[in-house]
Structure 1
Amino acid sequence: MTVRVGLTGGIASGKSSVSSILAELGAVVIDADALAREVVAKGTPGLDAVVAEFGDDVLGPDGELDRPAMGALVFADPGARRRLEAIIHPLVHRRSAELEAEAAPDAVVVHDIPLLAEVGRAGSFDAVVVVDAPVEVQVDRMERERGWSRAEAEARIAAQASRADRLALATYVVDNTGTLDDLRRRVTEVHAELAARA
């Protein structure tokens, strides 16, 4: 039987690295962020719906969604963020269900969902994997790797679920404060346990 797994982690926790390792190990990874881009690509009903809700100002000169402009708008206005999510989330949910249906019957299907704790869908999975790093490590990574200021990094962290809220959902915790080898070893252990359930 298919094992359905929710994968989540705070910003700069290293969730993308874990997702890549799981894919290398044979899991079917369904990336919610990638799907969120796909469902509002130029020419899609999703983009038409976003423009109908927010106006042409959210389009770039190429007719694609202007992500920085949209991000600035919804990051500053929780009401606008909820309106955008009401358009995008059902489309992403439908597309991820289609991809899951295409997986082999004994697959480990990993739904990579950054905001799993925020959207309240953890209970719909057989297991939840939380990639964890202390807030100080997250801030340091954003400053070093993304060139963000400390204030920008802290604001992004504050806009997400707390570390404690994410950890409360975890079936498996993947600590990402060590080396890449440490991370790979832990993810391999978790994948083996998940595959054994299939």
Structure 2
Amino acid sequence: MKIVIIDYGAGNIQSIKFAIKRLGYEAILSSDTEEIKSADKLIFPGVGEASSAMKMLKSTGLDKVIPTLKQPVLGICLGMQLMCTYCEEGDTDGLGIFHADVVKFDNQLKVPQIGWNKIYDLKSDLFTGISEGEFVYLVHSFYVKECAETIASTEYGVEYTSAIQKDNFYGVQFHPEKSSDAGERILENFLKVTQPNTIK
């Protein structure tokens, strides 16, 4: 299985590669369009600031490539947020894959939210073997509003989307590579996803 981590200068790449290796697979890091298109599974990571990350995507043309991908794609943290329609951070238009907005937590809350929190209302095969209320690791100041494509929720002052799915695109706000056994199981579930090679 060819697993490609999309390289656009934003991401916690090594920890993701190590997590995939622990599952018995190898992942390569690439920004090459043809290599990305030929992958069986794609991971779209992200740590950083939304507007800067979108500029990097646009500079390489990946902003046009990613929404057209047909194979399973997993966005992690900022990667998930960039797949949404709009992000308040840097007044940034996203890739528009998910019809949801990304907004900042209330100023009365301590931000970023750092640490372990629960996921619940699990609605996808991505969570096979994961219990309601399982703890995962998060680091973020902005969140995706709940929408029709939400497949898991978390509460931090407000209930928000901690995972999202549309066709072959998946996104998780938390870091599965840092979420112990539960995170590895979620990554493994993603790597085992099989579905038609089309987007509705």
Same fold by TM-score, threshold 0.5 exceeded?
no
Q: TM-score, normalized by length of structure 1? A: 0.36
Q: Which has more radius of gyration? A: 1
Q: Identify the structure with the greater helix proportion.
A: 1
- Quick check: which one's strand share is greater? 2
